[in-house]
Structure 1
Amino acid sequence: MTKTLLVAGTASHVGKSTVAAGLCRLLAERGVAVAPYKAQNMSNNARVVATPDGDPGEIGVSQYTQARAAGITPTTDVNPVLLKPRGDAESQLVVQGEAVGHYDAGSYYDEHWQTARDAAVESYERLAREHDVVVAEGAGSIAEINLHDRDLANVETAVFADADILLLVDIERGGAFASLYGTLELLPEAVRERVVGAAITKFRGDPALLEAGIDEIESRTGVPILGVLPYDDPGLPAEDSVSLPSSGDTRTVGGDDGVPSDRAVTVAVPHLPHISNFTDLEPLAAEPGVRVRYVPLDGSLVDADAVVVPGTKNTVDDLLALRDAGFDDALAGFDGPIVGLCGGYQLLGERILDAGIESVDAHDTVPGLGYLPVETRFREDKHLERVTVTVDGVAPISGASGTATGYEIHMGRTTPVRDVARPLGDRSAATGGVLGTYLHGLFENRAVRRAFRDDVYAHADTRPPDSSADPEMPFDRAATLVAENLDLTRLDLPA
């Protein structure tokens, strides 16, 4: 019989994805057939995988990573329902990898939730038939009492999967014991009985300082504390924008690599209002000597050595927003390497046609930033595909060759309006040190990532650091974090 463990939380961003990935990796290393699962996710960071019918579909990036940690090929079964926020209190609903439509919360719960639940149950049952353990990840807080009758990722999963529950609480923000106690008190009794233990995450300091509180909370609740996980960021892809600075702030990612700041280069990333798939930048931030700096649209590029314009859930509105904020003027004064990814590629072109398909506030044709001789025409249907392309390196990836793999998720179709280099095939265009491409996951390809880094360093007129080795895989670091700090024997998992 399949064992299911639901990793739930007292709130968002308490470490559920990290613990779930770590457990998947640990069990896979023991030879256990394990699969991740999240019934309903909300994220604009998506990956393209196969549906049960073999067609391309979308899932959240965390379940994609957890499937890799488990050593299995991810399908839409690991995340059958995905909500992709698009602003104006609406989200795109994706069921079994296929976009169904755009709905506000009321319409979703009233008209589509039962269909979503049916898909979630079907996916879980397929995973359970093929695996010994399913590590399910909850969403947000499991104690949202206004949603207990329709909480697909938490309450519903616990019931239809007959799951044990490991409850996580983040101590970094304070009030951990109160949050844990309150969460347990607010759970429906049938769900409360499934909680086999709790763990405290993101602790800085000596765990002995928590002993009195742990004894008291165990006495009051009867729930054992199975571990105290120290504050650590294994580098797993971020699932939502909580990890990003607010749109008006600047934040630099990377730098824990021993490279002095005067030997590092900075890649500026404009914080688009509808930014999506910003996990594309994480491999760059992990590259020795590279700092990724998210900047507000009215920010400066004076200290930047390169610019990457990221993906966006709403290209047209973000193009208008960056113009209003003056980012187009800042970019015009910048002379370093520029890369546009997916929506960023569309922004860098000469024009966007049929813009009203995406934005009701836009004219039919919207001028682009004009850095690439291409135009984008929007269509109602979304293009999803996993791809492998031949690389013909030109600036700003002039040293790259071989092949690169990635995936596409976009509604627009982009074509050249005159001759232009296409270093990544027909999914790209490049001229004058500016590259645009639809290839998400571009910088996960080591040859491309290193070529871009070297071009940035060459433009900055300095030498990149020696770095022949790649960093440890994030899910391996997550596995170590879990193994060293969580009492797994109490979870009744296969040895």
Structure 2
Amino acid sequence: MARTILVAGTASHVGKSTVAAGLCRLLSDRGVSVAPYKAQNMSNNARAVPRAPAVKNGDSGHPYGEIGVSQYVQARAARIAPTTDQNPVLLKPRGGGESQLVVDGRAVGHFAAGSYYDDHWHEARDAAEAAHGRLADAYDVIVAEGAGSIAEINLQDRDLANVETARFADAEIVLVGDIERGGVFASLVGTVELMPEDLRQQVRGVIITKFRGDLSLLESGLQEFEARTGVDVLGVLPYDDPGLPEEDSLALPSTDERAVFGDDDGIDADRTVTIGVPRLPRASNVTDLEPLAAEAGVRVAYLPLDANLKGVDAVVIPGTKNTVDDLLAIQEAGFDRRLRTFDGPIVGLCGGYQLLGERIYKADIEGTDRPEGASTVSGIGLLPVETTFSEDKRVVDTALELDGTGPFAGADGPVSGYEIHMGTTESAGAVETPFGRDGESTAALGARRGKVVGCYLHGLFENDGLRDAFINSVYDAADRHRPLGTAAAPSPYDRAAALLADHCTLDWLG
């Protein structure tokens, strides 16, 4: 049986994903066969990956499935191929109190929380335990990531990512607490006290994250914590962002705030550009924007839907877990009107592509907030395309050929990424179709008219040539000069590993 290390937390967004990725890279560096795992995830940031062989047998028509982006990242940190076994249960919130349930990579339906726990949780648990067993047969160590807090006393009888994983995997538990917002010792002590009694004996130690200041001022608190709980403090990590993709949208501003991401330190204002991203209420796969924010001189600004576009040089509309409801939110806020008068490049990705079209048919399949009886909804109207929804979901890793025009001028050739979407799109008028596959170019892949382009390819800006062409087009439209490139940043996986190696005791890893 493989050794399992469960990285659990006192709350959401305390740094569990970073610690898990760092452990995966550290163990891989030591030559250990290691795999990531998260029994149940809730996130709209997903990646298309191969389904585990054991679950696609007899289902050969669906070779790809979805997992949360953190497990995809952790697999890369572990230097192994990602599969659906690494995140066998995924819940994707869609609004209206419902989430789409994805088991072993395939969507099985939309359920409210009560329905999920009453009718589907045991099936999900069986799938999660089976996936862990397959990983345990193939690897020496599994680094499992928990979800939220391991001490939610109202959920401990059905806490799949934390309590159940710790039990069926007989996991060593590393507890992570975030000091940035204060109260870390209360959080850690309270978590240890409220954990199920049988699991307290499995706690290997705690790691405190996001510390700023003089570590010596913390020493007395660390000693008192150890004396009160009998649990070792394994390390205190300084506040540092290794640059790993975010698991969910907690790191983004709320819908009524504007926030800017990107590093333009030392670059003159006349050599920077701002890419505006509407903060859709149900935004998904916002990790698509991170390669842009990492470029020198490029700022990615997440905008509330009632914001004006002053100071914005280009707009990218991200994916959405609920195209119809987010389209209605855009129209209610008037963002569609402002977008139609915008002069810069506009790119829509997946759901963002659907929003840019003229109409959406069978909207009742997708939307939860649509007007009663409204099966057709008018789109923003910047691309002459129409989308029709169905219950079928396309999940695939793919490569396309791009005829680079408009905002992607000069980016001819292959581009790769992945598709996760419901609905099919067709042209409704004269439009360019710059994305092709197998010699065929259709609006089902993407479309362009003038400065506006849309496509279904997530991971689009991870393609270096296309990203470079797009940024150049933004600078040209803004009549600014792009700064020279800077040295490549260190690998985020190596940075996460270095955080642990430099600030934690690792003797317990063996």
Please, what TM-score do these two structures have when normalized by structure 1?
0.97
* Counterpart Cα distance in 2 of 1:257 and 1:101: 46
Describe the superposition over 1:409-434 as per-residue Cα deviations: whole angstroms up to 9, x where unpaired. 11110111233222222411111111
Q: How far 1:255 moved relative to its partner?
A: 2.0
Match of 2:377 among 366, 375, 379: 366
Q: Which secondary structure does the structure 1 equivalent of 2:308 belong to? A: coil
Match of 2:102 among 59, 77, 94: 94
1:285 aligns with 2:303: no
1:315 aligns with 2:292: no
Q: Which secondary structure does the structure 2 equivalent of 1:280 belong to? A: helix
Q: Is the 8 A contact 2:359 2:385 kept in 1?
A: yes
Q: Which secondary structure does the structure 2 equivalent of 1:115 belong to? A: helix
1:218 aligns with 2:229: no
* Counterpart Cα distance in 1 of 2:408 and 2:498: 35
Match of 1:117 among 100, 125, 141: 125
Q: Which amino acid aligns with 1:9?
A: G
Q: How far 1:476 moved relative to its partner?
A: 1.9
Match of 2:435 among 409, 416, 424: 424
* Counterpart Cα distance in 1 of 2:245 and 2:331: 29
* Counterpart Cα distance in 1 of 2:423 and 2:134: 34
Partner of 1:396: 407
Partner of 1:483: 501
Partner of 1:467: 485
1:182 aligns with 2:193: no
Partner of 2:416: 405
Partner of 1:442: 460
Match of 1:376 among 384, 387, 390: 387
Q: How does 1:68-467 map to 2 (within 5 A)?
A: 68-255=76-263, 258-360=266-368, 361-362=370-371, 363-425=374-436, 426=442, 427-467=445-485
* Counterpart Cα distance in 1 of 2:305 and 2:315: 12
Q: How far 1:403 moved relative to its partner?
A: 1.2
Q: How far 1:484 moved relative to its partner?
A: 1.0
Unaligned runs of 5+ residues in structure 1 are none
Q: How far 1:351 moved relative to its partner?
A: 1.0
Q: Which amino acid aligns with 2:365?
A: I
* Counterpart Cα distance in 2 of 1:38 and 1:444: 25
Please, what TM-score do these two structures have when normalized by structure 2?
0.95
Q: How far 1:320 moved relative to its partner?
A: 1.2
Q: How far 1:89 moved relative to its partner?
A: 1.5
Deviates more, 1:34-43 or 1:271-280: 271-280
Q: Is the 8 A contact 2:394 2:419 kept in 1?
A: yes
Q: How far 1:354 moved relative to its partner?
A: 1.3
In angstroms, what is the RMSD of aligned CA positions?
1.2
Q: Is the 8 A contact 2:264 2:298 kept in 1?
A: no
Deviates more, 1:399-408 or 1:206-215: 399-408
Q: Number of paired residues?
A: 492
Describe the superposition over 1:16-55 as per-residue Cα deviations: whole angstroms up to 9, x where unpaired. 0001011111111211110000000000000011112451
Match of 1:67 among 56, 72, 75: 75
Q: Which amino acid aligns with 1:121?
A: E
Q: How far 1:63 moved relative to its partner?
A: 0.3
Q: How far 1:259 moved relative to its partner?
A: 2.5
Q: How far 1:74 moved relative to its partner?
A: 0.5
Partner of 2:59: none
* Counterpart Cα distance in 2 of 1:461 and 1:30: 50
Describe the superposition over 1:243-287 as per-residue Cα deviations: whole angstroms up to 9, x where unpaired. 010101100011255423332100000011111111111111111
Partner of 1:25: 25
* Counterpart Cα distance in 1 of 2:217 and 2:210: 14
Q: How far 1:123 moved relative to its partner?
A: 0.4
Q: Which secondary structure does the structure 1 equivalent of 2:20 belong to? A: helix
* Counterpart Cα distance in 1 of 2:319 and 2:363: 17
Q: Which secondary structure does the structure 1 equivalent of 2:205 belong to? A: strand
Counting aligned pairs with the same residue, the percent is 64
